[in-house]
Amino acid sequence: MRLRFPSLLLVALCGLAPAVLGNLLHWSAWLWGFMSMGAASGSLLLVLAFLGSGRPQADPYGPGEPEPPAAPTEQPYQETRVIDAALPSAVDGYDFLFSATVWWRPVPDHTGRSDGSSPALAASAVVSRAQEIVRREQPGQASSARFLLEGELSVPLPDRSGRVMALAADATLTLAPADRDRLRKLSDLSKDEEIWEYERQHERNKRRYLGDDVLQSAGSAVVWWLARHENEIDKAVDMIGPLAQIAAAANDEEVPELFRHLLVPPAGARNEATVGGPQWGGPGPGTGPFDREAEVGAADQLVVWLAAVGVKPGMDEYTVLVNRVVMNLEMAELYEAADEIRRNLLPAPDQGTGPGEDEASDTDTDEDDTTSRYFWEPTHQPHRPTAPRAHDEDES
């Protein structure tokens, strides 16, 4: 870079101007000398910067520089559509339905050979890429797989032949309505089965707890009941018999002899014939053990029922209710049951001692019996069949 005369003249004038001005204004030599050197240095830097930034002029007579080759112009993207293309999922029989807008353009090397098959090549390339992405996805994950498709397919890539560049936008991924309903039903059934399995396991655990622990014996059953009713010691005594019976039934065993006297009245037990006797007929002296297979009669069942409602022998209500039952049975022509109840639960009439008093005694007894059994209904008259029953004729 060479300094020309105008540039040097400008630097000199800038350096002399402060010296001339200082002599005229009578400045000190140090001041105008310093200002002259500064002005000359500044002007020189400005000239050098200006000359360095300027482009060198081309020699009109020299050879020109070769122009760079023009960059090839890229083809604009074109659009095509893919609608409901079936893509297999991770489960056989459940296909995704894929739709998207495909943008494509010819590869620069194949621009001149672009033909009508380019849109199909672009759509095929996008569908193939989508198939590789979703083939490991579950059918129920269509919504999340759609976002994965949009991210992967937004990158332009060439097709297998290398003739077009293709990408996809606005991708959608759904299931057929029938497949959606089927998956929803399967999901509901699976949840219901899971709940049912938990309930069944809970029931098995409860049965195992009751059978192997609580009802293992009568003692363990009583201890279990006390643990749940800590403040009901008196009631626990009454529960020993029922708990022993339940524990024996749970283990398919007989109730131990130690607890049999605490059970509810055994089947077939009868009340003593006399009023005011013990409520339950137990094995007396010289009698054998109670037969559990004995048939339960009408009198036994009536005694159990009366005891359940709190009516005991010796109470006025006891005689009234028994007579009422006998009367209703006779009105229904159930004479055998009525006779059994009368014979076992009602007191026997007193018998006269004199021979002349038999007829009177019978009359009095009938009147007293009728009065005692029907005193609550004076207009009622006991009805007896006029003709003998069929089984009476056979017996005679």
Q: Which of 13-22, 268-277, 300-309, 319-328 has the highest mean pLDDT?
A: 319-328
Q: What is the pLDDT of residue 234?
A: 84
Task: Return the number of other C-beta atoms located less than 10 Å from residue 342's C-beta.
Answer: 20
List all residues 6 or more positions away from 110 whose beta carbon is below 8 Å from its beta carbon.
162, 163, 164
Q: Give residue 296's pLDDT.
A: 61
pTM of the predicted protein model: 0.40
- Per-residue pLDDT at 381 exceeds 60: no
Mean pLDDT of the 345-363 span = 51
pLDDT at 356 over 90: no
Q: Taking residues 66-86, report their average pLDDT.
A: 77
Backbone torsions φ then ψ of 366, nearest 5 degrees: -65, -40
Gyration radius of the chain's alpha carbons? 60
Query: Confidence class of residue 127 from pLDDT cuts 50, 70 and 90?
Result: very high
- The letter for the amino acid at 338 is A
60 versus 263: the higher-pLDDT residue is 263
Question: What pLDDT is attached to residue 3?
Answer: 54
281-297 pLDDT, tens digit each: 444 433 444 444 345 67
Lowest mean pLDDT among 63-77, 208-222, 318-332: 63-77
How do residues 183-239 score in pLDDT, each as one tens digit?
999 999 999 999 999 999 999 999 898 888 888 888 888 899 888 888 888 888 888
pLDDT above 60 (res 362): no
pLDDT at residue 364 above 50? no
Looking at the predicted structure, is the pLDDT value of residue 85 above 60?
A: yes
- Cβ neighbors of 75 (< 8 A, separation 6 or more) are 105, 106, 108, 111, 114
Higher pLDDT, 391 or 62: 62
CA 239, chain centre distance (Å): 39
Mean pLDDT estimate for the chain: 74
In this prediction, residue 188 carries a pLDDT of 92
pLDDT at 42: 75
- C-alpha–C-alpha distance, residues 211 and 205, integer Å: 10
- Residue 124: pLDDT over 90: yes
Residue 105, pLDDT above cutoff 80: yes
- Chain Cα centroid distance, residue 392: 70
Predicted confidence band of residue 112 (pLDDT cuts 50, 70, 90): low
The answer to whether residue 98 scores a pLDDT higher than 90 is: yes
Percent of the chain scoring above 90 in pLDDT: 20
Choose the weakest-confidence range: 4-18, 63-77, 222-236: 63-77
Would you say residue 123 has pLDDT above 80?
A: yes
Q: What is the band of 69 on the pLDDT scale with cuts at 50, 70, 90? A: low
* Residues in CB range of 33: below 8 A, 6 or more apart: 19, 22
Average pLDDT over residues 350-374: 42
Distance CA 202, CA 209 (A): 10
If one compares 176 and 287, the residue with the highest pLDDT of the two is 176
Check pLDDT > 80 for residue 182: yes
